[in-house]
Structure 1
């Protein structure tokens, strides 16, 4: 009898396991079907788009952005959320569960933006729909088909701009707009395209040197079509947009600064905090954290000032850094070459810190002239590291090491290609970007420069701490402006008193925070999450902790919400600190 009971118990357990496995398979199948269907739809919706948050298939047209399309998108993602809610997440395990959580965060964010109608404010002081098209014009085209698609996009600009203008009018009508104080000079890039001669237009860039695989007679036809598109479509559309910006938008946009001053402002600002940080922290909690971190970093900066031998106050040292010519490049070439030298030094050390490196490399080039006056000090991504050579008196060399680590390798120039090249991830994880993760990793990369020994002098170390302080100040300034009612001058003074940034960069940065609520919070909160996760792993694993395995674990995720990152570090600890690539067989290749 006892043997029978044991056997029945065993069969019962096997039955439970079988049922659980079947439930897992069913949940996984439903999730794969839903996410694949939506991702295909999403790519088609944004076909032809080009910005860091939207990855879509190439097309001979630009996305539709009219109000009817926006309403259809909201209905679609609402239905997707209902179907996601019906999938039992507890039935998913391992990477399946991670993918579900990442995907759910994406859809929640997309749907929230639709519900708050963020498409009625399609630009800010840093990023714009017309500026993104300028970047498209600089992308390499490889064959005649690429050129035909590009010409199709040029011909579609009038329709695209008209829809954006209609959306901005809707935003103005309900008080949902970019603050007026941040708009000065933002029309210049539009004016340059509107008034440029056809062959001088930025949109003619791909035609100046065409691939040799295109026959000369076809090159001539494509150039002629391109010139016609620029003359008949691109320039007139920019002229209409310029008139709207100067005569309507810049005169009717709101005088208030705070996101919370707009319709449903408190909920909107909280949604932007969640969008960019992936956390549900309140503005008050973030502000308080920022004040604590600013105080901590101020003490470290004071110690570094003493190491330089400077005798004077903190304010006097900042004045010294801002005014002594020895800290600034004498030419754009000097700045670019120094950035290249720093990047090369990283190349010699990176293998000691990261096990899996990307195949794609990056080029170092200046920020385009028409964008540079209002652009950040640098911008990096998959395949590029742009250095702003405008106003060299605001580009301190002592901060260039931190900037380069952030924007190139091991920052954006390493993390983004690794995600794209990770064939084990579903497309929606390989081709999307979460600011808290991506900017957090890039800021953490600046910290790695200390371990790499790249901050050679106390001034370089002060530059690193200054960049950390800059991002900590963002926690204070962003919440100060959008939640506590700070005025622009209050934010400028706070940045002047606590950071080593030049005056031009302080102004462009503060305007960026005013016009782009929540985005600036991602950096420091993301870095803190990675630093905390590493400290937790080091403590738990002791001598078994391997830094390269930890970094590979973080980077192998693609781009994930911070709570998911913490869960995956828990798995890393439970595995004994095992690298995600530990089970891969070494290459059995033989050199030819």
Structure 2
């Protein structure tokens, strides 16, 4: 945390999740590709039509297909130029017209949700292309590394076949960055700097290690030579793009007329509507988060009063509740792993979490699909976060799931100490629950088994993040941490991050909150270490709305579970509830609630 240590691009390339998977991004030009309208609108006709439309949407974006585990067009690169955008908008209009031929009320509940998801995706694509215009002012939208990294790391075919596919993509890199440079107009300084950092990471992916890998492969010498020529040209194109951005950043530095990273209410509310698909409006969620912050402070204060004599037997207890909570958290945060043990400790905890979930019968797991903990690839770093999940798509569900953890090599001793205090003995456990088991890793395994391709592919971030946050509290309720008051106090601090994420995002982008006030919210009111707070400030300057997904999804899932428990009484089965809830893929929480009610 993160999908909080979650890099907004990993979201926002995976999930940064992640959200590099969105159809709102570039789509390949395919010419006359209008969806067919079949039949009189009966449910069985809609099932065929909707899946056909979903596959057409997927085929238009080779990048999205790769993330979904489909490699038919993996050698093609979407060139994000004006012709591509025009073609994409024509496809959107034709698809929306075709979807209008069906009355949602005449469909089955499951198909009604699919209809809603398709309409939302197409309308949001149109809005992003014509109104939000991130392709103009967010240079960080452009990076070729993500799909190439997946092709190199996913053994879906022989090494030689995958390298040939990568070579095909590399051939198109110069045209890709030429289009990117032509698109950039009035960028923010923050997104320009991020693009520089992440494209430098792309250079690392395409560097000497790739050249050595090609030479050691089974490609014949002529292909090896061809690959090296293509790789060199691609590297030159990226270096040229980075150099162009560095010069641009120098010109933007210190100017008063540079575009603000804040998007304002006129863009924030529709972005929230399209991205989150919540039962809340953005303003309503903000107000609930403010109330939840006060409630959490009360709960944490009760624990702090209980623990004070244990840790400060000779010191008077402060009269201010934020002061006494903060003093205890500050003291407890000294218990953490050594710098060099951070990633090894994460690896150690994963099987313990899996065993606890099995022992307590909390949710179905699949031991045949292991979780691989790795250092975050360089091209995914720089978004102000340190951990994320890279999960395979529904077309290649048996591929490895990666738990990306950014090493602390780039931190000074002081920064590393601050970071380790933030991810102390208790918080590190909650982080692993969120990212791994039974959080993101577990949920996305279930999503890939969903019979609805649409619900699996059209990922709703609030459901994905909300489940991970819900799983943290659920695990503690079921006994993880042995009900220690220290664990509950640190959980309160962690959960405050979810709440303050939502407060911060809205306050910064809509209400104009400045850095000083944001740091007070994060450090004094949410007890975060300075390194974490500075990373979060960086993140809110680079993303919009995504930080609200954690609290939005969590609040709706937890409220729903409590209603079901009250209705069913002694007949309530927690595992059955979880397995049923996760069976609907990545659909928005309100849609899952509707389907479970049916």
When normalised by structure 1's length, the TM-score is: 0.80
The more displaced of 292-301 and 266-275 is 266-275
- Asked if structure 1 preserves the Cα contact closer than 8 Å seen for 2:145 and 2:202, the reply is no
- Residue 500 of structure 1 aligns with which residue? 527
Give the Å deviation of 1:134. 6.6
Q: Does 1:329 align with 2:344?
A: no
- Asked if structure 2 preserves the Cα contact closer than 8 Å seen for 1:60 and 1:150, the reply is yes
Structure-to-structure mapping, 1:4-43, within 5 angstroms: 26-43=41-58
C-alpha separation in 2, matches of 1:409 and 1:122: 37
Equivalenced residue count is 524
The more displaced of 522-531 and 308-317 is 308-317
Distance 1:53 1:183, change over 3 A: farther
- Residue 403 of structure 2 aligns with which residue? 385
Give the Å deviation of 1:511. 2.1
Gaps of 5+ in 1: 1-22, 211-215, 261-265, 572-592
Distance 1:193 1:32, change over 3 A: closer
Q: Does 1:154 align with 2:153?
A: no
Structure-to-structure mapping, 1:49-60, within 5 angstroms: 49=64, 57-60=72-75
C-alpha separation in 1, matches of 2:201 and 2:549: 33
- Asked if structure 1 preserves the Cα contact closer than 8 Å seen for 2:148 and 2:166, the reply is no
Give the Å deviation of 1:193. 5.2
C-alpha separation in 1, matches of 2:147 and 2:324: 43
Give the Å deviation of 1:99. 2.5
Q: Does 1:445 align with 2:471?
A: yes
Q: Does 1:129 align with 2:130?
A: no
C-alpha separation in 1, matches of 2:556 and 2:204: 47
- Asked if structure 1 preserves the Cα contact closer than 8 Å seen for 2:390 and 2:403, the reply is yes
When normalised by structure 2's length, the TM-score is: 0.79
Give the Å deviation of 1:301. 2.1
C-alpha separation in 1, matches of 2:578 and 2:216: 41
Structure-to-structure mapping, 1:341-420, within 5 angstroms: 341-351=348-358, 352-355=361-364, 357=366, 359-369=368-378, 371-372=380-381, 374-382=383-391, 383-390=401-408, 391=411, 392-393=416-417, 394-395=419-420, 396-397=423-424, 398-420=426-448
C-alpha separation in 2, matches of 1:237 and 1:341: 41
Distance 1:503 1:225, change over 3 A: farther
- Residue 491 of structure 1 aligns with which residue? 518
Q: Does 1:338 align with 2:345?
A: yes
Distance 1:415 1:221, change over 3 A: farther
C-alpha distance after superposition, 1:389-408 (max 9, x if no partner): 22432132331111111111
Q: Does 1:557 align with 2:584?
A: yes
C-alpha separation in 1, matches of 2:332 and 2:560: 40
- Residue 128 of structure 2 aligns with which residue? 113
The more displaced of 429-438 and 274-283 is 274-283
Structure-to-structure mapping, 1:71-86, within 5 angstroms: 71-86=86-101
The more displaced of 540-549 and 223-232 is 223-232
C-alpha separation in 1, matches of 2:596 and 2:206: 55
Give the Å deviation of 1:294. 0.7
SS in 1 for 2:102: coil
C-alpha distance after superposition, 1:250-279 (max 9, x if no partner): 64483534211xxxxx33211211123203
Gaps of 5+ in 2: 1-37, 392-400
SS in 1 for 2:597: helix
C-alpha distance after superposition, 1:114-141 (max 9, x if no partner): 232444158587x763553574365234
C-alpha separation in 2, matches of 1:196 and 1:91: 50
Distance 1:257 1:524, change over 3 A: same
Q: Does 1:166 align with 2:175?
A: no
- Asked if structure 2 preserves the Cα contact closer than 8 Å seen for 1:385 and 1:408, the reply is yes
RMSD: 3.2
- Residue 145 of structure 1 aligns with which residue? 161
C-alpha separation in 2, matches of 1:480 and 1:124: 24
- Residue 398 of structure 2 aligns with which residue? none
With CA pairs under 8 Å and 6+ residues apart, which has the higher RCO, 1 or 2?
A: 2
- Residue 454 of structure 2 aligns with which residue? 428
- Asked if structure 2 preserves the Cα contact closer than 8 Å seen for 1:123 and 1:129, the reply is no
C-alpha distance after superposition, 1:46-102 (max 9, x if no partner): 113489799875511221211221122122112211221220111112422232233
Distance 1:325 1:553, change over 3 A: closer
- Residue 588 of structure 1 aligns with which residue? none
Give the Å deviation of 1:249. 5.0
Distance 1:122 1:403, change over 3 A: farther
- Asked if structure 1 preserves the Cα contact closer than 8 Å seen for 2:41 and 2:102, the reply is no
Give the Å deviation of 1:371. 4.7
C-alpha distance after superposition, 1:335-363 (max 9, x if no partner): 12221232212211223011364742211
SS in 2 for 1:132: helix
Structure-to-structure mapping, 1:537-576, within 5 angstroms: 537-571=564-598
SS in 2 for 1:116: helix
Structure-to-structure mapping, 1:245-256, within 5 angstroms: 245-248=245-248, 251-252=251-252, 254-256=258-260
The more displaced of 104-113 and 286-295 is 104-113
Give the Å deviation of 1:411. 1.1
Q: Does 1:480 align with 2:487?
A: no
Distance 1:119 1:478, change over 3 A: closer
C-alpha separation in 1, matches of 2:154 and 2:47: 34
- Asked if structure 2 preserves the Cα contact closer than 8 Å seen for 1:124 and 1:515, the reply is no
Structure-to-structure mapping, 1:213-228, within 5 angstroms: 216=218, 218=219, 223-228=224-229
- Residue 455 of structure 1 aligns with which residue? 481
Give the Å deviation of 1:534. 0.6
Q: Does 1:44 align with 2:51?
A: no
Distance 1:503 1:249, change over 3 A: same
The more displaced of 102-111 and 66-75 is 102-111
C-alpha separation in 2, matches of 1:270 and 1:277: 10
- Asked if structure 2 preserves the Cα contact closer than 8 Å seen for 1:50 and 1:132, the reply is no
Distance 1:54 1:348, change over 3 A: closer
SS in 1 for 2:388: strand
Q: Which structure is larger by alpha-carbon Rg, 1 or 2?
A: 1
C-alpha distance after superposition, 1:178-218 (max 9, x if no partner): 4x356556523434655999415xx55864875xxxxx4x2
C-alpha distance after superposition, 1:386-440 (max 9, x if no partner): 2232243213233111111111121111111221133x22x22223311011111
